[in-house]
Structure 1
Amino acid sequence: MSPAVVLGLTVVLCAWLIRRLGRIGSRERGLPPGPPTLPLIGNLHQFPTAFAHAKFTEWAKLYGDIVSAKLGPRTVIVLSSPSLVRECIDLRSATTSDRPSLHILELLYDDNEDLVLARYGPTWKALRRAAHDILSREACMKHLPIQHAEASQLMYDLLERPEGLYTHIYRYSASVILSVVAGIRSPQFEGTIVEDFDHLIRRVEYLLRPGGSPPVDLFPPLKYIPSRFAPWKTETKELRAKEEKLFFGILDHCVDRIKRDRRNGCFLEYVLDHQSYYGLDYRKMAYLGGILLIAGADTTAVFLRWFVACMLTHPDIQRRAQQEIDEIVGLDKSPELNDIEKLPYLQAIIKEVHRFRPVTPTAMPHVTTADERVGEFLIPKGATIFMNVWAIYHHLDYFDNPEVFDPERYMRSELGNKPGVDTTGLRNDLGFGGGRRICPGSNLASNSIFLNTMNLLWAFNLLPGKDEITGEPVSIDLNSFTGGLVAVPPPFPCEIIPRSEAKASMIREQFTAASPTFELFEQHIFSREA
């Protein structure tokens, strides 16, 4: 081959390669509109590493309710209207129920062990079927005794140590899910497995959030950086060991309890009895229990913290809700779960907290397993889809004054929407996700929310804490919260005062009366060293 031919082929090859590389990061024909891209990186330089909902909402205002962004060769789709969520996530769930493939998850877990983040397939289906069987609406009625008992301790803890609001709420939420899943309760936060789970959740969430670790999935050669130059690899290894110790320790505890004929009807006992039916090996059972604990402990606690913050900043709303509870429940008894059906204003408050400060502002991302078309736009196979729950719940087309905390909107309409607007796809539970990946624990979480919001308002006056120097009430910033996957409000000072001595006496009596229920889950307290 002559030098001229070789040179010509080289020039053609280089031109082809430059053209191909130049297309990486570009928005392909048919994709929804979005921010301008740069060669190779697309919108990587603009993609949020914190408070993703804020950037996504900004894009929605500029480009519309369906937006695309490019992260190198990968496509991200952001949905900011309820009708689009219904169309893409609910009605097309057969092809939009996958999760992103993340190298971090491959290091943390084996073969899709994480129910929440597992890829869509046989393993996830088996895990999901098991979780649904124990967390269905009917099954959750069996868990009410321990939820009532734990709620009585939360009231008692707030009565005796009101300064510990944050940890008391988390202890409640974690102990309920521990009892339901593993038959173990935690009577305190400090120095227990509950505190271990809290630390574990924070570390895992940080690694998984955008910017929490290098973009290995976009630049695969980063996988081969030696651990001594890659702190995230050491962190992942430590987290994996911590999770294995906790998850296997909990399942071993259940096995030991069964051997001693000391069953208490928890989820893991049921799964162990039906292991062959679900097709789960010992490791997958351990991780199913552990992931349910992580997912269930955090979200309910965060909602209750937002609820208290909203009551502190809106005393008139708090007083009206207390008046409704007093009229319906009465003064000589505490609330029961079925009382919530007769408390429309409290129901409106709960819906408004979900709308005003959704716990997961962008929900968990979905991934498409086939090309889909929505109107004129293409959503390609392998695209990551975000439900921008924040934007939907703060959308001026659907809600009057969406930045104002106003439960009255839910007294006027079931969905809190403006009159006359098309509410296709609008749900009060968008924060629980959608399609086939909707949270399986939503029934258990809702029962906890109903019980504790009633209890808190029935039992206590919630007042802003006072500055130690000036003695003036400390203002609470409802716009201050963490920017990760879960929107957690920072600790805030709060005065929690029993509404009467009679109510304080009832709280102490109910906590004492809960002892037989507690004992069923305290055959011996699970050791964090197990």
Structure 2
Amino acid sequence: MESVILGFEIQTILLCVAGIAIVTWWLQKPKNLPPGPWGWPLVGYLPKLVVSLYRTGLHPHQLFAKMATQYGPVFSMRIGGKVVVVLNKCHIIKQAFMNPRISDRPVNQTLEDLGLGEGLGFSSGEVWKQQKRFTLTSLRSFGVGKRSFEVCIAEEAEYLTEEMTSLKHTLFDLSSLFTNATSNIICSVVFGKRYGYSDSKFKYLINLFHENGQLIGTGGVLLFFPIMKYLHISKYQRIRSNISNLIKFINGFIKQRESSRDPDNPNDYIDVYFNEMESNQEVGRESHVNIQNMPVTVMNLFGAGTETSATTLRWSVLYMMAYQDIQKRIQQEIDSVVGRHRLPRLSDKDKLPFTSAVLLEIQRIGSVAPLGISHSCGDDTTIEGYDIPKGSVVVSNLWAVHHDPDTWKNPDEFNPDRFLDQNGYLREREELIPFSTGRRICIGEHLAKMELYIFFTHLLHRFTFKKPDDSKPISFKGVTGLLHSPGPFLTQVVDRDSFDRFDVRGDGSLNQSETQCFHQWFN
């Protein structure tokens, strides 16, 4: 009898505690939040979000766009103990991200757990301002974003095309080659050198970044939400291990450079960083440009300058495979302006409006960073008349912006002509924001645009990309990690100069005997 009474009392106590938790949670809930789905105490909307993603088969950015049709372009939900606000319209994102109170980053759990600095990409407040100001000045001093830097990118594009030719086969998974090429651009700035594509340390470094990009999740969910590391313990431990190994590699390079550098002749970003640190020490000036933040900032620059451009190039090849008429039209435009006896240059860009329009359309429809990188509110603020409390996470659904039917006619259709005016001139659209917008817009935007243009035009000048015979139908269903990337695919790479010798009909097709002759000659 006593055990029954005791059991009843324990059950009553637990119910009371649960009731108090629910009431407290409800009373503490801000009253003027954006509308959104109802969630549970402690875990919030997370369980329902996971179930919705599983049932619908949608990616998070697609599900959020669908939720916006129900709740409006600004909606909120709770994930764990955090308020998450999702923005789905271009003008709202632009206005919000110009607000200084929405310029912070959520705390990066992994960097905090490892006792590392905040660096550039994940810092807030004065730490971020100093790192950004110094980094922009440093990159400009090396010509990054200027036309003079074209030579560096063009040389790497030449290494890429020569590597593809030297492999002596025509079927490629271009993922690693594109990643190697784009990585070398930022390596030349940060480390003062490029790496051979077969270099084992280079491959190791790239693989660490690539794996983390797949594990971290859309918008950096496993970095910014403490509850997630307990729900995905093995993934989180792997991310933590990878970041630790990345920092060890970078610290090793930093120590080598510290002992061998010439302060009067800085060769790269690390040299300039050391010079800035010494300058601050000489005058007794405290600064966040310090040895604790240096390796994390280098890691940020390397990561940001590698995967996004490489992924965009993979989308570009996939769309060229699927739209042979568009690929042919680009090549005709390039040939008419550039010819066959030199490579495209930045100075040709204004004369290649269709080529530029195709690149813009690839960035729109591919939306490589579909949810950008999450922002955090450094103080209480408002968005579209709604009250957003300090510490809230603000997510920009760039995919929804780029697929908004109110802005783009038939948004799921690949149509580069939407970026051309009636006279055939390039018409850039302010609603295209692949590098985000506002105060925390990607500082590598100009470099990335140069890379994409030079790599893309060099590749299309040299090669034609085709769907391999007997391969699966081309799929544009993306794979979502930190980035939105194509699934694995093979492409048939045809050397244009070699192919044109046999293309007697001029329509890009070969009969069986011509194909056999071509492969014998090329291989």
Instruction: Indicate the TM-score class for this superposition, using the shorter chain for normalisation.
Output: 0.7 to 0.9
Residue 65 of structure 2, aligned match among 29, 33, 57: 57
* 1:65–1:80 contact (8 Å) kept in structure 2: yes
Deviates more, 1:64-73 or 1:196-205: 196-205
The DSSP-based 3-state class of the residue aligned with 1:364 is coil
Q: In the aligned structure 2, how far is the partner of 1:42 from the partner of 1:281?
A: 39
Task: Report what 1:22 is aligned to.
Answer: 23
Structure 1 unaligned segments of length 5 or more: list them.
1-10, 224-228, 418-425, 468-472, 505-530
Kindly tell me the number of residue pairs found equivalent between the two proteins.
Answer: 468
The DSSP-based 3-state class of the residue aligned with 1:47 is helix
**1:15 positional shift:** 6.9
What are the within-5 Å matches in structure 2 for residues 2-17 of structure 1? none
Q: Deviations over 1:128-158 (max 9, x none)?
A: 1222113349643343322111110111112
The answer to whether structure 1 residue 45 and structure 2 residue 47 are counterparts is yes
Name the aligned partner's letter for residue 344 of structure 1.
Answer: P
Task: Report what 1:117 is aligned to.
Answer: 122
Q: In the aligned structure 1, how far is the partner of 2:86 from the partner of 2:326?
A: 34
Going from structure 1 to structure 2, the CA distance change for 1:100 and 1:503 (only over 3 Å counts) comes to farther
* 1:40–1:72 contact (8 Å) kept in structure 2: yes
* 1:189–1:195 contact (8 Å) kept in structure 2: no
Residue 488 of structure 1, aligned match among 485, 490, 493: 485
Q: In the aligned structure 2, how far is the partner of 1:212 from the partner of 1:81?
A: 21
Q: Deviations over 1:207-232 (max 9, x none)?
A: 46589869972499x69xxxxx9545
What are the within-5 Å matches in structure 2 for residues 67-78 of structure 1? 67-78=75-86
Task: Report what 1:507 is aligned to.
Answer: none
The DSSP-based 3-state class of the residue aligned with 1:192 is helix
Going from structure 1 to structure 2, the CA distance change for 1:392 and 1:208 (only over 3 Å counts) comes to closer
Name the aligned partner's letter for residue 93 of structure 2.
Answer: V
Task: Report what 1:453 is aligned to.
Answer: 456
**1:338 positional shift:** 1.8
Going from structure 1 to structure 2, the CA distance change for 1:130 and 1:198 (only over 3 Å counts) comes to farther
Q: Deviations over 1:36-83 (max 9, x none)?
A: 333443211133578220111111122111111112432111111011
**1:108 positional shift:** 3.8
**1:197 positional shift:** 2.5
Identity within the alignment, % = 25
Residue 246 of structure 2, aligned match among 243, 246, 255: 243
Going from structure 1 to structure 2, the CA distance change for 1:237 and 1:332 (only over 3 Å counts) comes to closer
The DSSP-based 3-state class of the residue aligned with 1:283 is coil
Name the aligned partner's letter for residue 488 of structure 1.
Answer: S
Q: In the aligned structure 2, how far is the partner of 1:293 from the partner of 1:219?
A: 26
The answer to whether structure 1 residue 132 and structure 2 residue 136 are counterparts is yes
Structure 1 vs Structure 2 CA RMSD: 3.3
Residue 498 of structure 1, aligned match among 469, 491, 495: 495
The DSSP-based 3-state class of the residue aligned with 1:35 is coil
Q: In the aligned structure 2, how far is the partner of 1:383 from the partner of 1:267?
A: 34
Going from structure 1 to structure 2, the CA distance change for 1:211 and 1:110 (only over 3 Å counts) comes to closer
Q: In the aligned structure 2, how far is the partner of 1:307 from the partner of 1:233?
A: 32
**1:333 positional shift:** 1.2
Deviates more, 1:151-160 or 1:246-255: 246-255
The DSSP-based 3-state class of the residue aligned with 1:378 is strand
* 1:396–1:402 contact (8 Å) kept in structure 2: yes
The answer to whether structure 1 residue 103 and structure 2 residue 103 are counterparts is no
Task: Report what 2:473 is aligned to.
Answer: 475
Task: Report what 1:272 is aligned to.
Answer: 274
The answer to whether structure 1 residue 84 and structure 2 residue 92 are counterparts is yes
Task: Report what 1:515 is aligned to.
Answer: none
Name the aligned partner's letter for residue 243 of structure 1.
Answer: L
Q: In the aligned structure 2, how far is the partner of 1:503 from the partner of 1:279?
A: 57
The answer to whether structure 1 residue 147 and structure 2 residue 153 are counterparts is yes
Q: In the aligned structure 1, how far is the partner of 2:450 from the partner of 2:431?
A: 18
Going from structure 1 to structure 2, the CA distance change for 1:360 and 1:20 (only over 3 Å counts) comes to same
The DSSP-based 3-state class of the residue aligned with 1:274 is helix
Task: Report what 1:438 is aligned to.
Answer: 441
Task: Report what 2:201 is aligned to.
Answer: 192
* 1:209–1:485 contact (8 Å) kept in structure 2: yes
Name the aligned partner's letter for residue 122 of structure 2.
Answer: L
Q: In the aligned structure 2, how far is the partner of 1:368 from the partner of 1:146?
A: 39
Superposition TM-score, scaled by structure 1 size: 0.80
